[in-house]
Amino acid sequence: MNDKTELVRRLDQVNGKGYKAYQILKGNYRFDGFELFIDHVQTDPYATPSRMRVRVDRSATGFGPGLTSNKSRNIALCDFLTRSFSDHCRDKATQERGTGKSGLITIDRPGQEILEHSAMVVTPEYVEARFFMGLPASDRRIASKDATVMFIRVLPDIVAGSLFMDRADSGRVHRHIEAVEDADFLRSRLDALGLVAFVANGSLLPRASGIDDAPLKNGSIVPFISPEAFEVRVDFPNQKGIVGLGIPKGVTLIVGGGFHGKSTLLKALAAGVYNHVPGDGRERVVTGAGAVKIRAAEGRNIEKTDISAFINHLPQGKSTTIFSTANASGSTSQAAAICEALEAGASALLLDEDTCATNFMVRDMLMQHLVAKENEPITPFIDRVEALYRERGVSTVLVTGGSGDYLGVADHVIQMKDFTCLDVTARARGIFERHRSKRKNEARGKLPDPGARIPLNTSINPRTAAGRKRIKSRGRRAILLGDDLVDMGDVEQIVHPSQTRALAWALVHAGRYMDANMSLKQVITAVDEALEHEGLDMLMPFVAGDLARFRSLELAAAINRMRTLSIKHELFERLT
């Protein structure tokens, strides 16, 4: 390994030359207290900044082994360090060092959720931060003086400020780690407790805005309080006797008037499959890891999915046991989303009427009179929701302010009223008995058992027609694989763009398992296990530093949304 003086010498050597001469920096350098790895050097001041890593001896950092004694703790410590590194970048790196990204130093900053990210790695031997640096240029000429300042002054400052235990910060580090450990602990026990989710009293659920996931900051926030009937007391590893709402398994309705806080609660439950930073307000909102937010997504692709539980005898005799379309309707897209989630192993469904297809949710008595069942392909969700739980053990939490028929199929009903949560189960039952409509259940027989879907590796083609390799993401909402643009806009539980980036690479990885024998479920499980054992780095051929972990449920969602998806259907094979 070179000494940092060698880096300075190389910088001197290329001063004022064309930008490409920066390539000479590639390599490893020993600094005082850390090692610097320059893995990839940008070819242009406007291109993606250069990829680098710094590595500090674990023993020098002061982060003892207790802080990483289990996976939850390790992820939390990495997250803490990433935020701290990012804060110091913002404070110390200035972008006023020339053209393009000159002067920039960044690390992939986490959002409100604490996810496993590849930006930081803590092992018993070292702490490693993966970051990006915009090598400075004046026009397109190398500005070595600025670069030298960045390497010799700014970077060591950032490292010293963020990657070592600071006594003043010790309390914050512990709180961060304990919050994650507690939430993970409860999540692993929800099932045994008979719960879909837990919302601690005092949680602050509303967000700053529709596009800002930070907590709402104003004086009039109503902290969450559980109705007595649903109160559960939980002992966490680091905190005893926390009381809150336990949403039991089964069918739970969240009812209430418009603007009373229903969707806010459901969104918190959807986000509760992840852990949150202290101060977020949702640190102790914990949802089972298998909960899937379901919504309608008109226009999406569906490939050989059995949606016959919800849709049957379509016009023109189109099959729905092996249903494909390049342009789904609201109701078929929602049916597919549910069937795909079940296939991928979902344990609970979260639905909000705001984003559901009305005709998928219910057909009321008068409509049943007007349009005979024979002329309606849809078996509405209301007629399947109980069977989903009784036959498959899949619970539902549904927000509805509009359809009273659901009172007849709910095990539990909670009402949001002025942002407070009330138990109205008994009242709802009474009302349903008194006003019971003559609406008929339209489900015929049990839930169908779909055959296994076997994805073929021809589905995965990272090359464009022009032969260029393209494995990319666009924000949180889209994956670009070859010429295919995979619209993930309706997959609400992707919370960070780095999850989408990781998903793009995971599709390629998944392709390796697609051997015409493994089912889709087996493929996503194989990828998940590989990630669990080898970590995020295994997804890419180089160390990236900007990947985040996703659930296998979201990988299934990505596979199912590819327009290039090609499925060999077990049942289909038998029929043909």
Q: Between 214 and 365, name the residue whose CB sits nearer to ligand ADP.
A: 214
Residue 125, token pair as written in the block: 């031997």
Measured distance CA(401)–CA(352) in Å, rounded: 10
**Should residue 263 be labelled a site residue for ligand ADP when binding is judged by CB under 6 A?**
yes
27 DSSP β-pair partners: 38
Q: By rule CB under 6 A, what string of x and - marks binding of each residue 405-444 to ligand ADP?
A: -----------x--x-------------------------
* Cβ pair 522, 310 in contact under 8 A: no
Quick one: residue 128, left, alpha or beta (phi over 0 = left, psi -120 to 50 = alpha)?
beta
**Should residue 451 be labelled a site residue for ligand ADP when binding is judged by CB under 6 A?**
no
Q: Is 258 exposed, middle or buried (0-12, 13-18, 19+ CB in 10 A)?
A: exposed
Measured distance CA(87)–CA(94) in Å, rounded: 13
**Should residue 258 be labelled a site residue for ligand ADP when binding is judged by CB under 6 A?**
yes
Instruction: Tell me the pairing of strands 275-276 and 285-287.
Output: unpaired
**Should residue 417 be labelled a site residue for Mg ion when binding is judged by CB under 5 A?**
no
The residue type of 8 is V
* Cβ pair 463, 266 in contact under 8 A: no
Measured distance CA(318)–CA(416) in Å, rounded: 42
* Cβ pair 161, 81 in contact under 8 A: no
C-beta atoms surrounding 188 within 10 Å:
13
- By CB under 5 A, the count of residues binding Mg ion is 2
Question: Which listed option, ligand ADP, Mg ion, none, makes contact with residue 315 (CB within 5 to 8 Å by class)?
Answer: none
Q: Between 205 and 520, name the residue whose CB sits nearer to ligand ADP.
A: 205
Q: How far is the CB of 36 from ligand ADP (least distance, A)?
A: 45
**Should residue 206 be labelled a site residue for ligand ADP when binding is judged by CB under 6 A?**
yes
Of 497, 499, 503, 515, give the one whose Cα is nearest residue 459: 515
- By CB under 6 A, the count of residues binding ligand ADP is 16
Q: By rule CB under 6 A, what string of x and - marks binding of each residue 80-109 to ligand ADP?
A: ------------------------------
- Taking the chain, what is the end-to-end CA distance rounded to the nearest angstrom? 63
- Specify the stretch interacting with ligand ADP by CB under 6 A; choose among 219-227, 306-314, 460-468, 554-562: 219-227
Residue 377, token pair as written in the block: 């392909």
Residue 451, token pair as written in the block: 């055959």
Instruction: Tell me the pairing of strands 302-305 and 323-325.
Output: antiparallel
Q: By rule CB under 6 A, what string of x and - marks binding of each residue 357-396 to ligand ADP?
A: ----------------------------------------
The residue type of 517 is N
Question: Which listed option, Mg ion, ligand ADP, none, makes contact with residue 84 (CB within 5 to 8 Å by class)?
Answer: none
The residue type of 271 is A
Q: Between 124 and 258, name the residue whose CB sits nearer to ligand ADP.
A: 258
Q: How far is the CB of 213 from ligand ADP (least distance, A)?
A: 12
Q: Tell me which of 21, 216, 456, 478 binds ligand ADP, using CB under 6 A.
A: 216
**Should residue 281 be labelled a site residue for ligand ADP when binding is judged by CB under 6 A?**
no
Q: By rule CB under 5 A, what string of x and - marks binding of each residue 123-162 to Mg ion?
A: ----------------------------------------
Between the CA of residue 225 and those of 136, 234, 430, what are the distances in Å?
Answer: 53, 15, 25
Q: Between 128 and 213, name the residue whose CB sits nearer to Mg ion.
A: 213
**Should residue 402 be labelled a site residue for Mg ion when binding is judged by CB under 5 A?**
no
Measured distance CA(391)–CA(447) in Å, rounded: 8
**How far from chain centre, in Å, is Cα 151?**
35
Measured on CA atoms in the order 319, 324, 328, 332, is the torsion positive or negative?
Answer: positive
* Cβ pair 498, 510 in contact under 8 A: no
Q: How far is the CB of 122 from ligand ADP (least distance, A)?
A: 36
Q: By rule CB under 5 A, what string of x and - marks binding of each residue 258-287 to Mg ion?
A: -----x------------------------
Q: Tell me which of 6, 35, 231, 354 binds Mg ion, using CB under 5 A.
A: 354
Q: Tell me which of 10, 97, 101, 262 binds ligand ADP, using CB under 6 A.
A: 262
Between the CA of residue 343 and those of 333, 349, 434, 487, what are the distances in Å?
Answer: 15, 13, 38, 20
The residue type of 560 is N
Q: How far is the CB of 263 from ligand ADP (least distance, A)?
A: 3
Measured distance CA(481)–CA(495) in Å, rounded: 20
Q: Between 263 and 305, name the residue whose CB sits nearer to Mg ion.
A: 263
* Cβ pair 63, 177 in contact under 8 A: no
Q: Between 53 and 262, name the residue whose CB sits nearer to ligand ADP.
A: 262
- Specify the stretch interacting with Mg ion by CB under 5 A; choose among 40-48, 197-205, 290-298, 354-362: 354-362
Within residues 193-232, the interface with Mg ion by CB under 5 A covers none
Of 148, 527, 493, give the one whose Cα is nearest residue 341: 493
Within residues 12-41, the interface with Mg ion by CB under 5 A covers none
Residue positions counted in the chain: 576
**Should residue 264 be labelled a site residue for ligand ADP when binding is judged by CB under 6 A?**
yes
Q: Between 163 and 225, name the residue whose CB sits nearer to ligand ADP.
A: 225
**Should residue 305 be labelled a site residue for ligand ADP when binding is judged by CB under 6 A?**
no
Within residues 238-257, the interface with ligand ADP by CB under 6 A covers 256
Question: Which listed option, Mg ion, ligand ADP, none, makes contact with residue 205 (CB within 5 to 8 Å by class)?
Answer: ligand ADP
**Should residue 259 be labelled a site residue for ligand ADP when binding is judged by CB under 6 A?**
yes
- Specify the stretch interacting with ligand ADP by CB under 6 A; choose among 37-45, 158-166, 262-270, 526-534: 262-270
Residue ranges in contact with ligand ADP by CB under 6 A: 205-206, 216, 220-222, 256, 258-264, 416, 419
Residues that bind Mg ion (CB under 5 A): 263, 354
